[in-house]
Amino acid sequence: MKDFNYQQLDDIIHSRIRLTIMSILVGVKSAEFTYIKDKVKATDGNLSIHLRKLESADYISMSKSFVNRKPVTTYKITNKGRKAFKLYISRLEKIING
Amino acid sequence: MKDFNYQQLDDIIHSRIRLTIMSILVGVKSAEFTYIKDKVKATDGNLSIHLRKLESADYISMSKSFVNRKPVTTYKITNKGRKAFKLYISRLEKIING
């Protein structure tokens, strides 16, 4: 008998907004905060909370720099994050496809 | 530019346990409570809460009957639930595949 053990789905990734952030970051080298915000259509505050949660898990990394004297915050997926995302997707597919 | 609007993902389906319940019910004519519980590996209480939430949304329907004088609770996906699940999956794929 096949199991559908939902607890195998990584809860850090599974939130709708964090799954979306990870889906964006997995496809690019890095992305600025404003770029992610435009794509995700979230408020600054809400987006920040979820970026921090992904950062705490070491799934993404953040760096700050200055472009034309303006501060720019950039995010990218880590190796750990890439692995976790891949595992999440494969488990998700298993559950959905029964 | 492609959007990743996470709010388009049906929140009723998106919880890990409800997604799992829906994935099970979409593949069968109907399923008894104990069958779902075995597959999902949830406690009675937790499973009941989420089944009720899916029922409230008219995504699944519940019926009670007696087999050998023992009460049996059976669930099945509704047409509305099947449509919502299909839409959820197609939006999920869009987000994941960027």
For B38-85, write each residue's pLDDT tens digit: 999 999 999 999 999 999 999 999 999 998 999 999 999 999 999 999
pTM, entire model? 0.90
Q: Is A47 on the interface with B (CB under 8 A)?
A: no
**B49-80: b or e for each residue (b if 16 or more CB lie within 10 Å)?**
ebbebbeebebbbeeeeeeeeeeeebbbbbee
Over residues A62-84, the mean pLDDT reads 96
Mean pLDDT of A18-43: 95
The answer to whether residue B40 is domain-embedded is yes
- The pLDDT-based confidence of A5 (bands split at 50, 70, 90) is confident
Q: Is pLDDT at B1 greater than 60 in this prediction?
A: no
pLDDT at residue A62 in the model: 97
- Does A17 reside within a domain? yes
- Chain B contacts of A19, Cβ < 8 Å? 6, 95-96
- State chain B's maximal CA–CA distance in angstroms: 60
For position B20, what pLDDT does the model report?
Answer: 96
Asked if residue B1 is part of any domain, the answer here is: no
Please state the rounded mean pLDDT for residues A34-51.
95
B90 contacts chain A (CB < 8 A):
no
Neighbour tally for B14: CB within 10 Å:
17
Of the candidates A7, A26, A98, which has its C-beta nearest B23's C-beta? A98
> What CATH code is carried by the domain that includes residue A14?
1.10.10.10
Q: Give ipTM to 2 decimals.
A: 0.87
- Compute the average pLDDT of residues A16-42: 95
B29 in contact with A, Cβ within 8 Å: no
In a domain, A4, yes or no: no
Closest Cβ–Cβ partner in A2, A9, A23 for B95: A23
pLDDT computed for residue A2 by the predictor: 62
Q: How many domains does chain A have?
A: 1
Domain annotation covers residue B23: yes
More confident residue, B90 or A2: B90
Contact B37/A1 with Cβ under 8 angstroms? no
Nearest residue, CB atoms, A20 vs list B27, B40, B95: B95
User: How far apart are the CA of B40 and the nearest CA of chain A, in angstroms?
Assistant: 5
Chain A neighbors of B43, CB-CB under 8 A? none
pLDDT (mean) for B25-47: 95
